[in-house]
Chain A
Amino acid sequence: MLSLHDIALGYSGETIADNVSLSLEAGQICAVIGHNGAGKSTLLRTIMGLQPPLAGRIAWTGAKPRTIGYLGRSTEIDCQFPVRIKDVVAMGAWNGLDFWTGIDSAKTRQIDDALARTGLAKIADRPLFECSSGQLQRCFFARAIVQDAPILLLDEPFSAIDQTTQAQLVEIIQQWRAEGRAILIVLHDLSAVMTLSDSCLLLGRHRARFGQTTQIITRQNLLSHDYITEAQASLLSLPESAGECDV
């Protein structure tokens, strides 16, 4: 569905990461990991076309999808805004809607379905500013469900939520994969990376390494990309190294 060939990420004059390559097929989950400032969010912005790559090529199989599902960090969102949960979920259906057109019955069913799948049906009328961070995140997942996009980009979807909510959200991501959607997910929790993703992109120290998750999450790789320190590495049971699998 999507492949990146030797992309350089960054803003004008400043390269954050060089030679970033990856390929993502329908029905696959690719995890993106890296230290703070390694270029994870910049990568998502570049794929969405919000900023051009400094070098390299982004190739879509077929045309670039009209809708790209996006789930950002809740710090970017005004949670005091006067909207109810169901209004936010409905925003997933706004793309491509003319200003005089309302949401049709098929979309309304999709919205109700998304509210039910995320366990929000009973509190759909609750104002956003009364929601807990777990409810907020479920609300944004519901909006992403309504977007019905062939590819989804998730930026740290499990930050600041409890284990139960995370388990429910993981289930939704796995349903997306089963439905044949491609998912790119920025994660910090290595155990989530190991259990959830098929492939992994490791960013750090201006470099990138891509491959099967089991081949990327190794002691040697994580250390060489500044993802963990020696002290942390000794606490984790990580394979020493594995064969490289670059695209």
Chain B
Amino acid sequence: MFDWLAYDFMQRALVASSILSISIAPVGVFLVLRRLSLAGEAMAHAIVPGIVIAFVAFGLSVISMITGGMIAGIVVALATSMLARRTLIREDGSLASLYLIALALGIFILSAAGSAVPLKSFLFGSALGIGDDTLVLIGVIATITLFSFAIMLRPLISATFDPVFFETQSRHLGLVQQWFMFLLVLNLLAAFKSLGTLMAVGLMILPATAARYWVSTITGYLLLTFIFALLSCWAGLILSFYLSNVPTGPAIVLVAGCIFFISLFCAPLGLLRGSIVRK
């Protein structure tokens, strides 16, 4: 039954996805709470052109593509946040405009430079082909993420729940928002090798939306989201091991999708609850 554990690539995938779950869960929770779920998706596209430019310029190297993705993500995140605060257009509209421009630019550059084949693996990842460098990268990003959340959990809760009240207590509203967007980009990059940027968003959002149907406190929410993400990763990996034609990324996200639907129908705050009191 545990024969899959004997394989080196499965062990690596298991460790990588477990660390990724710890790191990605709080990001997903606050993406959902801050109503930025679609922004996460947009950001995943926004980093692709940075990766592409790095690939065209420096070839297949994890460090250069991470750096490229990081720069593209940060530029889009900072510009989005700036536009949202300084102009009429809110975060969603600003982000949509900028990521579309960035994505078109990325594909334009890749096509102008030559083959489009590597882009496919950027989008869907290869969870069973994780090397040492990727494992270290995921570990470093998870450490940065957890340390950041330890420091800014209270400010982030306060700024999400009641931003005006938070502004009266602290001068750091902009910093909290921007650091959170930075963590989002970091985690998308952590997930991009193993899951691909498209599937990474699935592992970020689905456990968080599923867990929301069960909990009434933020602590419980963070914990349950992590458990759901971990379950999705393990079940997805095993599923793709036995069904050899099924790629790992989509298998993991489909398990997360099943957990979402089970929660939707069975959880106390799901459909069972009837009409939620809306204010």
Interface residues of A (CB under 8 A from B): 48, 50, 67-68, 70, 72, 74, 76-84, 87-88, 91, 94-95, 97, 99, 127, 129-130, 133, 136, 143
Contact = CB atoms under 8 A, between A and B. Distances in A.
B162 A77 contact: yes
Interface of B: 33, 150-154, 157-158, 160-165, 167-170, 212, 215-218, 220-221, 276-279
A50 B168 contact: yes
A99 B279 contact: no
6 contacts: A72-B164, A76-B163, A77-B165, A82-B33, A91-B165, A99-B154
A82 B158 contact: no
Nearest to A74: B279
A94 B158 contact: yes
Contacts, number: 76
Contacts of A143: 165
B165 A70 contact: yes
Contacts of A82: 33, 212, 215-218, 220-221
Given A94-B154, A127-B216, A81 B168 contact: no
Contacts of A99: 150-154
Contact of A78 (B161, B215, B220): B161
Contacts of B220: 82
Given A91-B158, A94-B154, A129-B277, A83 B218 contact: yes
B279 to A, nearest CB: 5
Given A50-B167, A68-B168, A94-B169, A78 B212 contact: no
Main secondary structure of the interface of B (DSSP, over half): helix
B87 to A, nearest CB: 13
Contacts of A83: 157, 161, 216-218
B162 A72 contact: yes
A95 B152 CA distance: 13
Contacts of A133: 279
A83 B219 CA distance: 9
Interface centre among B152, B154, B221 (most CB of A within 10 A): B154
Q: Which 3 A-B pairs have the closest CB atoms?
A: A127-B216, A70-B168, A79-B279
Nearest to B221: A82
Contacts of B33: 78, 81-82
A59 to B, nearest CB: 20
A78 B160 contact: yes
Nearest to A67: B169
A76 B33 CA distance: 15
A70 B169 CA distance: 9
Contacts of A70: 164-165, 168
Contacts of B165: 70, 72, 76-77, 91, 143
Contact of B154 (A72, A77, A88, A97): A97
A3 to B, nearest CB: 20
Nearest to A81: B161
A82 B217 CA distance: 5
Interface centre among B168, B215, B216, B277 (most CB of A within 10 A): B168
Nearest to A91: B158
Which of B150, B167, B170, B212 gathers the greatest number of chain A CB atoms within 10 Å? B167
